[in-house]
Structure 1
Amino acid sequence: MSIGNGPTNRAVLYVSAIIVLLFVAFGMFLPNQMSEVVNSVFAFLTTNFGWLYLLAVAIFIVVAFGIAFSRYGNIKLGKEDDKPEFTNFQWFAMLFGGGMGIGLVFWSIAEPIMHYLSPPFGKGGTPEAMHTAMRIVFFHWGIHAWVIFAIGGLALAYFQFRKGLPFLISSAFYPLIGDRIYGPIGKAIDILSVFATVFGVATSLGLGSSQIATGLEYIWGIKATPVTISIIIAVITVIFTLATVSGLHKAMQAAANIKVWLSVAFMVFIFLFGGTVFILNTFTDTLGAYFQNFIGQTLWMGNRDWVNGWTVFYWAWWIAWAPFVGQFVARVSKGRTIREFILAVTLLPVGFSFIWLSIYGGAAFNLDKLSHGAIQAAVNADYTTALFATLKQMPVYSLTAPLAILLIVASFIGAANSATFVLAMLTSGGDMNPSEKLRGFWGIAQGVFTIMLILVGGTAALKALQTASIAAAFPFMLIMLVMCYSIYKALREDSAAI
């Protein structure tokens, strides 16, 4: 198998693989000790640097929109005669599918109910708590999250398509360190990107497969054991690996389109049967509250324990996913202008997400009231069953419940497709069309690592790895802050030359 273009590219693959194996071995054989270590590290970072996570994301917002609406916004991500590779619909479907689609399916009901019961301020279980809960969900899944991906994607797309540098995170630092991006500093940045991507996807595979397993138990009584979860992971791994190997234009585009249409069908169904007027009122009220509190909530630390447990955790999680989501949205955005790219990446998926969250969250609150707390009870017992508990309160549950599992699987395939493709690019020197063998290797590797951890350490080992990848987001956050200056420096020079 030919990997990359030389020894330095193979070094990224080999070092990344060794780090992955060491963490998997640690999680398998010493799960309790690993959990203690990573939880201690994460607690230290959030306690002492929670303010920096909030401030960094605020800076990303200012930089992204500042560039978009400046004269630099007209610069094309590519040569002047380059045309977009995908239609607008295909582009939007892939932007959304490569990001947090699976997260919305997982958390769109559970998170608002959890905030409703335990809000960061005020009394839980009240109408005020419901409004606060929905505003918080918009905040965590809105512009702040996608602007992180936009910064990473802008750097990659600009330096690859405009400047002809390798399609790697390290290339974004060429204006600052020059050819040293090909040396140890650049390789360290790329290895950190691989680390965050592998464990971000592995933990999502494990936790999301747990949701599928609990759904099967909730619907048909099939026991959600580690073996059941492992079988689900194996099936999903085979599907997304075959899809990824078949190529970006074929299966990845098809998976994204299927997921979008299935998502739209669910949104329409829940909108019609979950309380249409209540949902519309929820959307309108929450959207207004979101923009009214945008700046204040961006930097709010009035309840530090809650902020560290939720907001800082989310910001770190999105930063950990920035290498792979940023690289993927950049990969499909050649030929777009910088303004078009930033506005599309930060606003289009966010608009879709807000509609989604309002429909699912609004329906959950409405149906919970009508069912005298049935959905609250389900979330308290096991929050992974929140979606199925909500669908149970609506018609044709025998049909919608299996389709919900299909939606979860389709969402997994979309995210895992893009992650696997990006891992192959990162470990092949930035090759935008990495070999099928390398794509297949990373697809199988992610599934095998996850299954091993599930069988030996259970979901506790996966949660420890999730925390570890989020802790790794701290140095990557610092890298992204420097990246902002590097982008500005390059754009200023480019604009002067033009």
Structure 2
Amino acid sequence: MNLEKKGIQATLLMPVAVPTIVVATLLIIGTISNPDAAGSAFSSMLAWITQTFGWFYMLAVAVFLIFILCVGFSSWGNIRLGSDHAEPEYSFPAWFAMLFSAGYGIALLFFGVAEPVLHYSTPPAGAAETVPAAKEAMQIAYFHWGVHIWGIYGFMGLVLAYFAYRHGLPLSVRSALYPLIGDRIHGWAGHVVDTFAILGTMFGLATTLGLSVSQINAGINYLWPAIPISTTVQVIAIAVITLAATASVVAGMDKGIKNLSMLNMALAVFLMAVVFAVGPSIHILNTLVQNTGAYLGSVVERTFNMQAYTHSDWIGNWTLFIFAWTIAWAPFVGLFIAKISRGRTIRQFVFGVLAVPTFFTFLWFAIFGDTALHMIMEEGKTALIGEVQANHAVALFEFYDRLPMSFFLSLVTVFLIITFFVTSSDSGSLVVDSLASGGLLETPVWQRVFWAFLEGGIAAALLLAGGLSALQTMTIVSALPFAIIMLLAVAGLWRALVIEGHRDTSISAITPVRPHSDGGDWRKRLHGIMKFPGVNKIETFIDDVVVPALKEVSEELTSHGWNVDVTSDTGEAAMTLVRDGVDEFYYQVKATEHSAPDYRTAGDKPATFWRADVYLRHGSLDYDLFGCSKEEVIRDLVDHLEQYLNFIDAAPGTLPWEPQ
């Protein structure tokens, strides 16, 4: 809805925005008023949820990954996220840079050294500080940050992009449930879904921002020891950097997030290159190959490993936390990925989202994690273990302290963490604002700024109420209802893809109409094949033949009670059949330019020619109607309409392109 009051424009969907703001405000007030009591409650809640629902989180993650892989490998992978002729909006390097920055760049900086060292020193099973412990530590890191979390992000992004760009639904989490509940997504059920999505996003972002400021604080303390490591400093950092993030929020997607993401990617690659060059390079390559092979060999077992016989809280503090964090963050990252992925095929999307970030993750952990373990095991720098155990946030900076150019590397890293903070905050604000506005892509600047400040407030409050433990708790709690919503979205997307497959089969059964193919003079037909008309002839054909044909059919359908709309403009004409406010059938003839074929007569004729191409809802059918009579155009239109009506009669359901 659009609201206007005292000159201030707003696009907030109040049934979603108000509950979100109320819950977030109460959380901030409650934690600030009594941090100790809030911290105790968070700890109890964390233990109960991980013990009771841990199996559910692990099973859900397996379902998301298996489903998205099956879709990518199937014939559905050829479906484009948009019309059939759409092209990707962003180049692959820019696309991946934005995936990396929004997805988990902060997590790699925080855990790249800390997690392998911690698992080596305190493994979930077996003797500590041994060669098997080192192998296990790297396998755990690969498992936690590899293909599984990108399966979660990718699935959510695919669902949102498919329904938004393929079928014109709002770019909102509620749209994923349209195949299951139909128009009720616009009522209370949809409002509840989007509210949970926003809350999960905000708590997931709070966790990320909390990790960021703790590492920024550690880095600043390393560079300038006079600045202490304290919650006060971290809260101040949240406030200052949130203010800085508003500039990127105002700049928008292309100028703000895209440019910062490219900078983040360049700095991350630079750090990797330096550490690889000054570290044990051959050892890094050896471990990368070995650990990748071991990961592939054990990935199924680890996916379903609950440590059911050890009764340890390790899996709750690590695996379940990381996977729940990812699920909670899936609305944000998924919607952000969807925004930047229009025009790619499902197969390009799936393997781009899964393969490239996963390989980059493995390389990152090989360079930073294996180099840290090499320092401990081969160079005797065992003091690093105690330093990491004392404060996870200092791990990367203590690691740099044992390398050349440590001050310079630390300075670059602090700057990189800040820019990651900014891109996470501003891209999160864009996504939350879109969800709170019913899926709108263009919203007032003040709304995005408001959500950025609210996210910073939640992160600060949770830090005051117990630091990382409180952040973990709220992440895991908010992930539980959203995991259920995502499982429902699996069923919705599967149903939509099955029906689209039936639609494509029915369309392919239609023989395209050709000029003079209904018994006319074959010489005229042959002459038409050799024609290469210009744009003026095609526009005249559409005005004089196609438009009257569409209007004649429209009048006949209207007389039978159908709601039909015919539109025309220079070089195009379309007919839309509507029932119960839902667009069902769409037929368009459009002037399009093509390269001239090799067999045309050589000379000074133009290198291109124009056609009157037929389009349905999902794009061009790649055949030309130029030269057809009005009756032939009508026959083509009626053929498609008949086939469409037969299709929806054979595959009824509640999709936006079907009758209710």
Which TM-score applies when normalising by structure 1? 0.96
Looking at structure 2, the residues matched to 485 and 27 of structure 1 have their Cα atoms a distance apart, in angstroms, of 38
- Bigger drift between 106-115 and 225-234 goes to 225-234
Give 1:84-483 correspondences, 5 Å limit: 84-221=88-225, 222-302=227-307, 303-305=310-312, 306-369=314-377, 370-451=379-460, 454=463, 457=464, 460=466, 463-483=469-489
Unaligned runs of 5+ in 2: 1-7, 505-660
Conservation of the 8 A alpha-carbon contact between 1:243 and 1:417: yes
**Pairwise CA distance, 1:134:** 0.2
- Residues 1:114 and 1:461: Cα distance change in structure 2 (over 3 Å): closer
Deviation at 1:291, TM superposition (A): 0.3
SS at match of 1:376: helix
Contact kept, 8 Å, 1:199 with 1:466, in 2: the verdict is no
Change (3 A) 1:461 1:129: closer
Q: Partners of 2:66 and 2:204 in 1: how far apart? A: 27
2:139 and 2:206 mapped to 1: Cα distance? 30
Tell me the equivalent position of 1:493.
499
Mapped partners of 2:407, 2:93: distance in 1: 32
> In 1, distance between residues paired with 2:436 and 2:167?
21
1:325 CA drift (Å): 0.5
Q: 2 CA distance for matches of 1:446 and 1:462?
A: 16
Deviations 1:26-75 (A, max 9, x none): 21112233233333333222212212211111111211011111111111
Q: 1:295: how far off? A: 0.6
CA change 1:279–1:427 in 2 (3 A) is same
CA drift at 1:450: 3.4
The Cα offsets for residues 115-154 of structure 1, whole Å up to 9 and x where unpaired, read as 0011122101001100100000000000011000111111
Residues 3 and 495 from structure 1, CA distance in 2 versus in 1: closer, same or farther, beyond 3 angstroms? farther
Larger displacement relative to structure 2 (431-440 or 241-250): 431-440
Q: In structure 2, do the counterparts of structure 1 residues 377 and 465 end up closer, same or farther at CA, with 3 Å as the change threshold?
A: closer
Shift of 1:461: 5.4
Q: Does the CA-based 8 Å contact 1:196-1:320 persist in structure 2? A: yes
Is 2:85 aligned against 1:78? no
Q: 1:242, 1:440 within 8 Å by CA — same for their partners in 2?
A: no
CA shift for structure 1 position 86: 0.5
The 1:461/1:266 distance shift into structure 2, 3 A limit, reads closer
1:343, 1:324 → 2: CA distance?
20
SS in 1 for 2:86: coil
Gaps (5+ residues) in structure 1?
Answer: none
CA distance in 2, matches of 1:397, 1:20: 40
Q: 1:291 to 1:304 in 2, by over 3 A?
A: farther
Aligned to 2:9: 2
Contact 2:157 2:333 (C-alpha < 8 Å) held by counterparts: yes
Q: Bigger shift: 197-206 or 177-186?
A: 197-206
Percent same amino acid among aligned pairs?
Answer: 37
Matched positions, count? 492
1:101–1:415 contact (8 Å) kept in structure 2: no
**Closer, same or farther: CA 31–261 of 1 in aligned 2, 3 Å:** same
Distance apart, 1:250 and its partner CA: 0.6
Q: Indicate whether 1:43 and 2:50 are aligned.
A: no
Query: CA–CA distance in 2 between the matches of 1:452 and 1:289?
Result: 41
* Aligned amino acid, residue 79 of structure 1: S
Structure-2 separation of matches of 1:111 and 1:342: 27
Give the counterpart letter for 1:480 in structure 2.
M
Structure 2 CA distance, aligned partners of 1:83 and 1:143? Answer: 26
Structure 1 position 379, deviation (Å): 0.6
Counterpart in the other structure of 2:537: none
Moved over 6 A (4+): none
- CA offset at residue 418 of structure 1? 1.5
CA contact (8 A) 1:275 1:363 kept: yes
* Kept after mapping to 1: 8 A contact 2:31/2:461: no
The amino acid of 1:169's aligned partner reads V
Cα distance, 1:338–1:433 mapped onto 2, change above 3 Å: same
Instruction: Name whichever of 466-475 and 301-310 sits farther off.
Output: 301-310
- Residues 482/13 of structure 1: CA separation in 2 closer, same or farther (3 Å cut): same
Q: Provide, for residues 253-309 of structure 1, a one-character-per-residue CA deviation record: whole Å limited to 9, x for no partner.
A: 111001100000000110111211221122111111100101111111234522233
Q: Which is richer in strand?
A: 2
Cα deviations across residues 441-493 of structure 1 (Å, max 9, x unaligned)? Answer: 11122224434555xx36x1564244123212111111111110110001111
One-letter code aligned to 1:161 = Y
Q: Which structure has greater helix proportion?
A: 1
- 1:274–1:367 Cα contact (<8 Å) kept: no
Per-residue Cα deviation, 1:395-421 (whole angstroms, up to 9, x for no partner): 111211111111211221222222111
Is the alpha carbon distance of 1:304 and 1:138 closer, same or farther for their aligned partners in structure 2, counting shifts above 3 Å?
farther
SS in structure 2 at match of 1:86: coil
1:180–1:29 distance in 2 versus 1, CA, 3 Å: same
Structure 1 stretch displaced more, 231-240 or 354-363? 231-240
Q: Deviations over 1:78-104 (max 9, x none)?
A: 112221110111111111111011000
Aligned to 2:516: none
Letter in 1 for 2:491: Y
> Which deviates more, 19-28 or 408-417?
408-417
- What is the Cα deviation at residue 107 of structure 1? 0.5
Q: What SS does structure 1 have at the residue aligned with 2:10?
A: coil
* Compared CA separation, residues 348 and 249, structure 1 to 2 (3 A): same
Separation of aligned partners in 2, 1:438 and 1:301 = 42
